[in-house]
Amino acid sequence: MKVSIIGATGYAGAELLRILHNHPQVQVMHLTSESHTGEDIASIYPHLRGIYMQHLMSMKDMDKISADSDFVFIGLPAGHAMKVGLALEDTPVRIIDLGADYRFSDTDVYEKWYKVKHTHKNAKRVYGLAELCRAQIREAKIIGNAGCYTTASILALAPLAKNHLIDINTIVVDAKSGVSGAGRSAKLGNHFPEMYDNFKAYNVGGHRHTPEIEQAVAALSGEPCVLSFTPHLVPMSRGILSTCYARLKPGVTAEQVDAAYTSMYGGEYFIRLLGRGGYPATKEVRGSNFCDIGWHIDMRTGRVIALSAIDNLVKGAAGQAVQNFNIACGFDEKLGIDMVPMYP
């Protein structure tokens, strides 16, 4: 399959290039960057030296990109992927958007949280969380790749919500991310002296991934969902640990919780169940497409605490995009992303 990457110089774009190089069914055609047009990709990311020789082009040359591509991956800030979607609407090219433009079934929710007007409301899109939306992804024209915090949190909560084991309006998600999740652009708060030996929360009560988690939990449970989500930055380059709390419904047993996870994920290659009492760790999934999940029952408070760990740039971005690509193409889902985690 011929693929191009729109917005190839962000961290997710660079991770896509790392993964796609080892994909036996992919030929990378074009790479774009509006800020580095005309430069070599290896001059931006020297670790790609001798591997990719492409010059970065502008996304304005969409006719050429369209003519040469079966799929495009988009790694652009909110509001920009819609331009690509509209430009490719009447072509056979399929789209996987690593941003937020196509994640929401209700574009009013998108506009409220992202403060951007949605200009492609009638797009034929599906949500790109592979383990939950596999059937829809197979035929989709546009796949809205799930976000990083959301992937970790939704996968941890999904068996509980789907099996109606929790009061979904008691959910609290406390998640921590490595700094690469904030992107490559220089920001004072992500400057090394600011981050090193530091640990902080941000966007409390207002993070844009909140409604994405609520949308998924509501779809799984069939009930409206309002939850609390608090993100944190930790001084590491990559990884997410999500700790999700919820009150169990009366009469729900620990064995029912165990059965819900085993039933939903027992056959999922990229989800590794650590079981009741398990403690996922970011280093154990680093550089891989795995999501490790463990859960605990606090009988004293009547709560279940579900924990998950992912690499935010792989399962939380580029790896999941390639997993969705494999599903959409009818390939083995593991193709190109069956990577052993890097350790230590």
Can you tell me which residue has the tokens 């690469």?
180
d(CA 80, CA 281) in angstroms, rounded, equals: 34
Does 129 fall in a domain?
A: no
Same domain as 183, residue 107: no
Same domain as 183, residue 79: no
Tokens representing residue 8 in the block: 């190839």
pLDDT at 146: 98
Same domain as 186, residue 106: no
Same domain as 177, residue 61: no
Enter the DSSP assignment of 48: G
Q: Which of 79, 107, 123 is the last residue in one of the domains?
A: 123
Same domain as 211, residue 168: yes
Report the alpha-carbon angle 20-24-28, nearest 5.
45
The DSSP string of 147-201 is PHHHHHHHHHHHHHHHTT-EEEEEEEEEEEE-GGGG-SS--GGGSHHHHTT--EE
Domain count, the chain: 2
CB within 8 Å of 42: residues ≥ 6 apart: 48, 49, 50, 51, 52, 53
The enclosing domain of 160 has a CATH number of 3.30.360.10
Same domain as 105, residue 21: yes
d(CA 1, CA 33) in angstroms, rounded, equals: 22
| Dihedral (CA of 321, 323, 325, 328) sign | negative
Enter the DSSP assignment of 6: E
User: Choosing from 133, 148, 225, 291, which is the catalytic residue?
Assistant: 148
The enclosing domain of 39 has a CATH number of 3.40.50.720
Does 90 fall in a domain?
A: yes
What Å distances lie between residue 231 and 33, 179, 201, 291, CA to CA? 29, 12, 6, 18
Same domain as 203, residue 87: no
pLDDT at 188: 86
d(CA 268, CA 316) in angstroms, rounded, equals: 16
Does 34 fall in a domain?
A: yes
Enter the DSSP assignment of 128: E
Does 320 fall in a domain?
A: no
Same domain as 164, residue 41: no
pLDDT at 175: 98
pLDDT in tens, the chain (344 residues): 999 999 999 999 999 999 999 999 999 999 999 999 999 999 999 999 999 999 999 999 999 999 999 999 999 999 999 999 999 999 999 999 999 999 999 999 999 999 999 999 999 999 999 999 999 999 999 999 999 999 999 999 999 999 999 999 999 999 999 999 988 888 888 888 998 999 999 999 999 999 999 999 999 999 999 999 999 999 999 999 999 999 999 999 999 999 999 999 999 999 999 999 999 999 999 999 999 999 999 999 999 999 999 999 999 999 999 999 999 999 999 999 999 999 99
- Which pairing describes strands 303-310 and 291-298: parallel, antiparallel, or unpaired? antiparallel
**0.95 exceeded by pTM:** yes
Task: List the domain range (segments joined by +) for residue 11.
Answer: 2-123
Give yes or no for a cis peptide into 344 (omega within 30° of 0). Answer: yes
Same domain as 177, residue 119: no
Q: Which amino acid is at 260?
A: A
Does 269 fall in a domain?
A: yes
Tokens representing residue 85 in the block: 């979607």
Does 139 fall in a domain?
A: no
Does 137 fall in a domain?
A: no
d(CA 335, CA 326) in angstroms, rounded, equals: 7
148 assigned to active site: yes
Q: Which of 62, 57, 68 is nearest to 29 (CA)?
A: 68
Same domain as 184, residue 111: no
Does 54 fall in a domain?
A: yes
Same domain as 307, residue 167: yes
* In contact, 292 and 341? CB cutoff 8 Å: no
pLDDT at 187: 86
Same domain as 300, residue 259: yes
